[in-house]
Chain A
Amino acid sequence: MIEVRGLGVSFPGSSSPVLRDVDLDVAPGEQVLVLAGSGAGKSTLLRVLAGIVPQVVDAQVTGHVLVAGLDATTTPTADLATKVGTLTQDPADQLCLPTVLDEVAFALENRGVDPALIGPAVERTLAAVGAAHLAHRRTAELSGGEGQRIALAAALVADPRVLLLDEPTALLDPAAARAVAAAVRAAAGADRSTVMVEHRLDELGRLPARVLVLGPDGRVRSDGATQEVLHDDSRTLAQLGTWLPLSAELSAAGVGALGQLPVAPGSPSRSGPRVLRARGLTVRRGSRTVLDGVDLDVHAGRVTAVVGLNGSGKSTLLLALAGLLTAAGTVSGGSVGLVFQHPEHQFLARTVRDEITWGPRRARATDVDDRVAGALDAYRLTGLEDRDPFRLSGGQQRRLSLAAMAVCGHDVLLADEPTFGQDRRTSAASADSLRRLADEGRGVVLVTHDLRLVGEVADDVLVLRGGQVLAHGPVDAVLADDGLLARAGLPLPPVLAAWRTTDHRLRDVLRALHAAADRATSVPA
């Protein structure tokens, strides 16, 4: 179904090729998972298969690429679309029409299908992805998970021979991610080949039978049966910075189960004075109460994680704490900084250096140069000083937005989904920097749906549901409470389930796992 030989791709203005000498054969009905670190060409490979690179996005492409018998490098994208369906990360980029019905029918209309056949096909496809109830909604009103299911239906409606999936669950909360992953699984038929790029392997449920690993140089590192590749090459994979399922992570750490891992107890976080006090925070939008009487104390040296499903009021709570929207109730205490979910929304300057300098200069700080130099170093931005923030990679943008806020020296730092859509290495770096800021004596509040991240950095957890506080307590107690997590709608990641079988503190266990994987990967293979 797919035959790729000697594929090389380089983008204009880039010094080295993104992909080199890639060979890939995918049989009809076969499913392939592509793993690689950031910038290693996963998305580029999918875009070549979809006929986007080099036809819509300019690039130099060598080798030959046959998809369902068509040359993907020369067949117009729209013609190739008769055989190939594509699903990407963000529903906002894929839902182009005002209503769900028009959106799903679009691909059939473009193929000139008889209008009498389109209605039933749309209905069938919506039912197949579990979205029949959304048929009469407007696309602008859909949640992320709903939007992603509609985008999947829109890709599947024309019954493509090949389905390309580029991190379809990256931007969803755990419950929505599992629902979309299930729909994707159901979409893979006996005569439909799928090629999938995905970070959230634990959410997938069942992994595709075959894995292709791309190295940082853009070459194929390994290609084979999933179980073999994940376990035999787990160290290599950990080294590449890709997410791994727990079992592979354990094998990279050289143990069979989490309980066998030697764990050294760390020192608990010191709790300093209270730096922020919020009482009775209530936010209404129209007739809806988005946040309902939330109390929160933030202490220096501690990280509080706020968890809950999308729409539970997490982001609104941060906006209210930062004084960015009108809320009933009181907030008192020190100065507050907030790192937003999308780094691009916060950029104010045309170079990385000016971006970091912005805050301290506005604050008329005296040691601006020292602070900026320190931040460039701490956030690994040295060498990028003169680059345009809008032209950085996703991981670099994330580090820059954290650096630009950290350098202001606020008493309280709030962060909204700082690891959203990032690979393992960038996520770990973001988590480390938040922990470091707390250890320096600031109060940190972190909104996330990644419970593992919560375990790695947080001291306390605030669980929200429907704008109300469901629970607030120490991280180990909250994450051990199954009833509570079920009521909050938060599925437990496998690594946390495994932690419960040990007698150690969660953070110590996760650190030990991390350290063991790091040690293993630093040994030359």
Chain B
Amino acid sequence: MNRLGRALPHDSLLHRRNPTVKLAVFFVVSVLLLVPVDPWTPLALLVVAVPAVLAAGRIPWQTLGAAALLFGPFACSLLAVNAVTRDGPVVAEVLGLEVTGTGVAIGAALALRTVLVGILAVAFSLTTDGARLMTSLHQHARLGARPTFAVLAGYRVLEDLPERWMTIRQAQSVRDPRRRAGTLPRDPGSLTRAAFTLLVVALRQGERMAIAMETRGLGSGPRTVHRPVALDRRDAVFAAVVLGVCALVVLASWHVGVLRTWDTV
């Protein structure tokens, strides 16, 4: 079952929040995270964010953990590269490379930031329906009707893509008289030909969908939305709480004296 762009099938506080507000809050927090380069501030935010997200989104911790692991390799590489490339007091030597204290601190900060942004992104996508997000952006962020529905139609094409890809690979593999039963070819030539066909077929479908939307009057003037996405005071409270907590954590880390920025590192 293809779950791309679909929220987890339950209700939660995060599910009920306005998608545009959620996206904006996520964006602001991500920008805010660019400021600290000490490991303690992102660590403190992570410690607050993980239980908050698990509870507010009713996301199973296994699901969130598995998704966060996707960001693990990138986080580790950030830590490793920074640890051995920054100037500062040498704290160890690994495989002939000098590891500096500053490097480890900055590396850990960037790694934790990556995991945190990753977790927030996963929480956002697990609690937000793609179509409702587009409707909300159309409604609340003044995204035009054409781009909105182009994305939604593209999403429909995308939903069919895995099955179509499989059919095309089967259809093309049976053309080879020397093929082995039970396996589909994985050589670059075969995959390229299948990808080309998939592209042609998807583009043609896209063209026909665009025409279908025109024949239903898309772009004929001002439009209404029959199932509007709610936007109310609770969304303002949500944004205020999330941003307030983040600001508090950063203030606290400044107060304790562990906050470092690129200027003070």
Q: A residues within 8 Å of B by Cβ?
A: 50-52, 56-57, 76-79, 81-82, 84-86, 88, 90, 92-99, 101-102, 105-115, 118-119, 122, 139-140, 154-155, 158, 319, 322-326, 331, 335-338, 340, 342, 344-348, 358-360, 362-363, 390, 404-405, 408, 410
Least CB distance from B200 to A in Å reads 6
Interface size, chain B (Cβ < 8 Å): 51
The answer to whether B211 touches A56, judged by C-beta atoms less than 8 angstroms apart, is yes
A511 to B175, CA, bound (A): 32
Least CB distance from B199 to A in Å reads 11
The chain B residue sitting closest to A321, CB to CB, is: B181
Cβ of B215 under 8 Å from chain A: yes
The answer to whether A345 touches B177, judged by C-beta atoms less than 8 angstroms apart, is no
Residues of A contacting B: mostly: mixed
Cβ of B218 under 8 Å from chain A: yes
With A97-B152, A326-B182, A345-B168: A110-B225 Cβ-Cβ less than 8 Å: no
> Which residues of B lie under 8 Å from residue A110 when comparing CB positions?
145, 216-220, 223
A102 to B209, CA, bound (A): 15
Identify B159's interface contact among A56, A115, A140, A405, CB under 8 A.
Answer: A140
Could you write out 29 A-B pairs with CB less than 8 Å apart?
A51-B215, A76-B219, A78-B214, A78-B218, A79-B217, A81-B220, A82-B220, A86-B212, A92-B160, A93-B209, A96-B149, A97-B153, A98-B159, A99-B131, A102-B131, A108-B224, A109-B226, A110-B216, A112-B222, A115-B227, A154-B216, A342-B167, A345-B172, A346-B172, A346-B174, A348-B172, A348-B175, A363-B178, A410-B177
Identify B224's interface contact among A115, A140, A347, A362, CB under 8 A.
Answer: A115
Q: A79-B220, A408-B177 are in contact. List 20 more A-B contacts (CB 8 A).
A: A52-B214, A77-B215, A90-B208, A92-B205, A94-B212, A95-B156, A96-B156, A97-B131, A97-B153, A106-B218, A110-B223, A112-B224, A115-B226, A140-B160, A344-B197, A347-B197, A362-B175, A362-B177, A362-B178, A363-B178
A328 to B216, CA, bound (A): 47
> Which residues of B lie under 8 Å from residue A331 when comparing CB positions?
181
Residues of B contacting A: mostly: helix
> Which residues of B lie under 8 Å from residue A362 when comparing CB positions?
175-178
Least CB distance from A394 to B in Å reads 12
The answer to whether A96 touches B212, judged by C-beta atoms less than 8 angstroms apart, is yes
The answer to whether A109 touches B197, judged by C-beta atoms less than 8 angstroms apart, is no
The chain A residue sitting closest to B163, CB to CB, is: A140
A113 to B225, CA, bound (A): 9
Identify A344's interface contact among B174, B200, B227, CB under 8 A.
Answer: B200
